Amino acid sequence: MLGKTAGGLYWMFRYLERSENTTRLLDAGFRIALTRASASESEWTSVVETAGVRAGFEKKHDTFDAANVIEYLLRDRSNPSSVLSVVEEARNNARLVRTALTREVWEATNECWMTLKSLLARPVRDRELPSVLSTIRQQSAVVRGALHGTMLRNDNYNFARIGTFVERADNTARILDVKYYLLLPSVSFVGSSLDNVQWETILRSVSANRAYRWLNGGDINPTGISNFLILYRQMPRSLIFCCAKINDNLGYLAEDYGERLSCHDHADRMLGQLRDRSVESIFDFGLHEFLGGFIRDNSALGGLIERDYRFSE
Amino acid sequence: MDGKPTFFDEMIGPEEIYREPYRSYQKWIENEDPAQLRKKSAEAEQFFRRTGITFNVYGQDEADERLIPFDIVPRIISAREWSKLARGIEQRVRAINAFLRDIYHRQEIIRAGRIPIELIAENEAFLPQMIGVSPPGDVYTHIVGVDIVRTGENEFFVLEDNARTPSGVSYMLENRETMLQMFPELFANIPVRNVSDYPNNLRRSLANCAPPSCTGRPVIAVLTPGIHNSAYFEHSFLADQMGAELVEGLDLRVVDGRIAMRTTRGYTPIDVIYRRVDDDYLDPLTFNPDSMLGVPGIMDVYRAGGVTLANSPGTGIADDKAIYSYMPDIVEFYTGERAILQNVPTYRCAEPDSLAYVLDNITELVVKEVHGSGGYGLLVGPAASKREIADFVKKLKAWPGNYIAQPTLALSTVPILTKQGLAPRHVDLRPFVLVSPDNIDITPGGLTRVALKKGSLVVNSSQGGGTKDTWVLEE
């Protein structure tokens, strides 16, 4: 396959994943702002921070309130990570690699773009937000469903999946990193209801509120949450899950092409570092330092994949 | 006579009697509920949008992807009408290839005095870089679209030959696909000839023109200027349907005397490139040095027989509007037969007598730029205002050699579905022709373009035209 096509698939699915992640962040932020009006400004600030667009936001807006954040993260075309921007980018990449997609995947992507473009044509008011967010999630679920249901499990599929998990790992790490101070043992025994709400927000940001309760019988604490989001192998948004998936899909490529490249060693090393880890050792090392290192490693992995598989000249 | 022009309608003849090819369709449509049909028509639009069958309009930012409107009433051509058309088209395409071969080699036709040498020597469409080059199988125009108009029961004219990179074939295919989905019963009852083999035939035809350097199964790629090109949908559609790679200039480079594409595993040679990039942009080392769309050095590889380009560079000299007026002579010169399809009478403004005639009769003529296309740079005399005519006359007098003129043709009409029911609109027809060393293949059908505005004679999609499915009936 063409290097350009591999790159197009990788980025198409990174962007689609990003649109979903932004949607989850907004959902969680909205909920906490509803329930705890006094903390809402700092909550919206951390939403923008997690999305990695704080500098851009501050250039356009003075206050971190619901209207500004929703506008900037959903519709603002000057924000390259707004849902509208990334869905458009996803679709542009889909057009670029159209010959590598099944008709179902292409049509689902095109329909997703058409739907969101008209949905986001006007500013979204507070009370419309939940239904808008749910439409966005549904639309990207259709694309993913079409991918799973119709694509051959060949290199096209592997590059699409690798893009998905590189993006997802980055997102989960950022969510944790922005809130890491809430998870530190020093403040973890305060046990106030405030922390409970904050911790729930973290879980909601990765759509894992109920799963966590199910597994831990309602005992929400920082160690448990950190373990769940970093080291729990069955949790589809945990760092270790993402790394394992990236390893699998890179492994299929190595097998297909009969060639191991530098990205394979790098991905192996990242997985190894998580596999032999306990959450306690992460806290000992420093959660913030650990997450910062992971984010850098993950982004370096993306660069290696691009180079090894010749996405561009 | 009330002096109003009358037009030949292909569906409904004099006294409201349906013409023969439309009789079975008549039985069907007379039993259809018009409201239901309009609903289907809206569904068709939805289908095109969802599939992304759109074209980009240059210079428009928002909503820069548009649909070409599709009309659900088919244009139907009888087996007898088609067989004459097909013979005429084949003859013409054969002559075009022979002409190109000659013009880039011995130039017998000029020596024989059948066309003036200035017409070639001073023509931008003539590429000196092609002199002496023999493409594989002597095929220059692998893909041709011949624009045909009709003015009466037996009167067909060739309006234009498209020998460079004719577009529109994806619409021919998707229009049929849409009709099959919406009205399957029609195809069960009416014997319509199939068009869906086109991508397969295209692939085979291109593979048959593989260069000598190709040893195994030919690797074929479609070269597109990219996703912002107005015909990008068609490029990706054809690549997809042929199972060929869709490449851009940045994916390609010269490696060991071949053109190779950058894959995830390194560079792989390509044998045949169906290029949808104009000559000018093909090779910055040979043509436009600023082009980012082509491949530096591709012309050297091509001349050395390392790759096949379809169509060959330099074919524009055969569909140039000034050459067009010589087509009857060209056909006769190379085939030894009279041209089966007529040319529209054409006045070459470069000739003083013709220019005088054109200036005297400009309100009744269509004046075109020799190198123009897409309905731009064109004056439709009968429809133009005094001001427009005055402006155009200035340009014409300043550079007569840049223009030709033709009488306004009474283009035939085929009804379209409007809110008020069926209403006649003017149409043309672009059948698609594939040329390989031993075969000329004409797909039975083509792209029918229709002027949606009442009375309008301009069918180009860039000027508000639409399309119809085109049916050629079995014998």
Test A2 with B239 for CB contact under 8 angstroms.
Answer: no
Domain region containing B366: 346-407
pLDDT of the residue at B61: 46
Say yes or no: A162 and A223 in one domain: yes
Give the separation between CA A20 and CA A137, rounded to whole angstroms: 6
Say yes or no: A305 and A180 in one domain: yes
Average pLDDT, chain A: 91
Say yes or no: A260 and A206 in one domain: yes
Strands B155-162 and B342-343: parallel
Say yes or no: B127 and B59 in one domain: yes
Say yes or no: A171 and A133 in one domain: no
pLDDT of the residue at B378: 83
User: How far apart are the CA of A90 and the nearest CA of chain B, in angstroms?
Assistant: 13
Give the mean pLDDT of A129-148.
95
**How does pLDDT run across B290-331, given as a tens digit for each residue?**
888 999 999 999 999 999 999 999 999 999 888 999 999 999
- Using the predicted structure, report yes or no on whether residue B462 has a pLDDT greater than 80: no
Say yes or no: B39 and B184 in one domain: yes
pLDDT of the residue at B62: 46
- Using the predicted structure, report yes or no on whether residue B5 has a pLDDT greater than 70: no
**Residue of A22, A41, A40, A42 lying closest to A31 (CA atoms):** A40
Say yes or no: A282 and A182 in one domain: yes
Say yes or no: B44 and B153 in one domain: yes
Q: How many domains does chain B have?
A: 2
Lowest mean pLDDT among B2-6, B16-20, B277-281: B2-6
Say yes or no: B159 and B41 in one domain: yes
Domain region containing A178: 153-313
Last residue of a domain, one of A132, A151, A170: A151
User: How far apart are the CA of B161 and the nearest CA of chain A, in angstroms?
Assistant: 30
Q: Which of B52, B236, B264 sits opposite A155 (nearest CB)?
A: B264
Say yes or no: B357 and B464 in one domain: no
Last residue of a domain, one of B407, B427, B454: B407
Say yes or no: A9 and A125 in one domain: yes
Give the separation between CA B148 and CA B86, rounded to whole angstroms: 11
Residues in chain B closer than 8 A to A114 (CB atoms): 49-50
**How does pLDDT run across B147-204, given as a tens digit for each residue?**
999 999 999 999 999 999 999 999 999 999 999 999 999 999 999 999 999 999 999 9
Interface of A with B in 18-47 (CB under 8 A): none
The residue behind tokens 């990334």 is A86
Give the mean pLDDT of A299-304.
98
Say yes or no: A162 and A306 in one domain: yes
B387 domain residue, yes or no: yes
Q: Compute how many other C-beta atoms are within 10 angstroms of the C-beta atom of residue A122.
A: 9
Last residue of a domain, one of B382, B407, B432: B407
- Which amino acid is it at B123? N
Average pLDDT, chain B: 91
B78 domain residue, yes or no: yes
CB of B438 closer than 8 Å to CB of B415 = no
- Using the predicted structure, report yes or no on whether residue A115 has a pLDDT greater than 60: yes
- Using the predicted structure, report yes or no on whether residue B376 has a pLDDT greater than 80: no
Test mutation, A98, A156, A312, A313, chain B, max B CBs within 10 A: A98
- Using the predicted structure, report yes or no on whether residue B364 has a pLDDT greater than 60: yes
Say yes or no: A220 and A131 in one domain: no
B463 domain residue, yes or no: yes
pLDDT of the residue at B64: 62
Test B245 with A99 for CB contact under 8 angstroms.
Answer: yes
Test B262 with A310 for CB contact under 8 angstroms.
Answer: yes
- Which amino acid is it at A53? V
CB of B357 closer than 8 Å to CB of B125 = no
**How does pLDDT run across B46-73, given as a tens digit for each residue?**
888 888 887 765 544 445 677 889 999 9
- Which amino acid is it at B437? P
Judged by a CB distance cut-off of 8 A, whether residue A309 touches chain B is yes
Last residue of a domain, one of A151, A168, A184: A151
Say yes or no: B332 and B350 in one domain: no
Tell me the two tokens of residue B319: 């569909």
Say yes or no: A128 and A173 in one domain: no
Say yes or no: A127 and A195 in one domain: no
Give the mean pLDDT of B250-270.
96
CB of B37 closer than 8 Å to CB of B73 = no
Tell me the two tokens of residue A273: 């570092």
Say yes or no: B459 and B359 in one domain: no
Prediction pTM value: 0.90
Say yes or no: B126 and B34 in one domain: yes
Give the separation between CA B287 and CA B269, rounded to whole angstroms: 23
Say yes or no: B368 and B391 in one domain: yes
pLDDT of the residue at A126: 84
Say yes or no: A20 and A137 in one domain: yes
pLDDT of the residue at A122: 94
Mapping DSSP onto H, E and C, the string for chain B reads: CCCCCCCCECCECHHHCECHHHHHHHHHHHCCCHHHHHHHHHHHHHHHHHHCCCEECCCCCCCCEECCCEEEEEEEECHHHHHHHHHHHHHHHHHHHHHHHHHCCCCHHHHCCCCCHHHHHCCCCCCHHHCCCCCHHHCCCCEEEEEEEEEECCEEEEEEEECCCCCCHHHHHHHHHHHHHHCHHHHHHCCECCCCCHHHHHHHHHHCCCCCCCCCCCCEEEECCCCCCCCHHHHHHHHHHHCCEEECHHHEEEECCEEEEEECCEEEEECEEEECCCHHHHCCCCCCCCCCCCCCCHHHHHHCCCCEEECCCCCHHHHCHHHHCCHHHHHHHHHCCCCCCEECCCEECCCHHHHHHHHHCHHHEEEEECCCCCCCCEEEHHHCCHHHHHHHHHHHHHCHHHEEEEECCCCCEEEEEECCEEEEEEEEEECEEEEECCEEEECCCCEEEEECCCCCCCCCHHHCEEEEEEEEECC
B467 domain residue, yes or no: yes
Q: Which of B51, B52, B227 sits opposite A96 (nearest CB)?
A: B227
Test mutation, A1, A2, A9, A91, chain B, max B CBs within 10 A: A2
Test mutation, A95, A106, A156, chain B, max B CBs within 10 A: A95
Last residue of a domain, one of B385, B407, B429: B407
pLDDT of the residue at A265: 97
pLDDT of the residue at B56: 67
Q: How many domains does chain A have?
A: 2
pLDDT of the residue at B235: 96
**How does pLDDT run across B388-432, given as a tens digit for each residue?**
999 999 999 999 988 999 998 889 999 999 998 899 999 999 999
Residue B451: strand pairing partners: B465
Say yes or no: A130 and A179 in one domain: no
User: What phi and psi values does residue B458 have, to the nearest 5 degrees?
Assistant: -95, 115
**Alpha carbon distances (Å) from A210 to A56, A66, A174, A218, A235:** 34, 25, 21, 9, 12
Test B51 with A98 for CB contact under 8 angstroms.
Answer: no
Test B261 with A309 for CB contact under 8 angstroms.
Answer: no
Say yes or no: B352 and B330 in one domain: no
pLDDT of the residue at A185: 63
User: How far apart are the CA of B309 and the nearest CA of chain A, in angstroms?
Assistant: 20
The CATH number of whichever domain residue B383 belongs to comes to: 3.30.1490.270
Say yes or no: B183 and B93 in one domain: yes
**How does pLDDT run across A186-222, given as a tens digit for each residue?**
554 444 555 677 788 888 888 888 898 888 887 788 8
pLDDT of the residue at A192: 53
Say yes or no: B351 and B205 in one domain: no
B161 domain residue, yes or no: yes
pLDDT of the residue at A191: 47
Give the mean pLDDT of B87-95.
97
pLDDT of the residue at B372: 62
Residue of A nearest to B250 (CA): A313
Last residue of a domain, one of A112, A127, A151: A151
**Alpha carbon distances (Å) from B281 to A95, A274, B286:** 22, 52, 9
B1 domain residue, yes or no: no
B319 domain residue, yes or no: yes
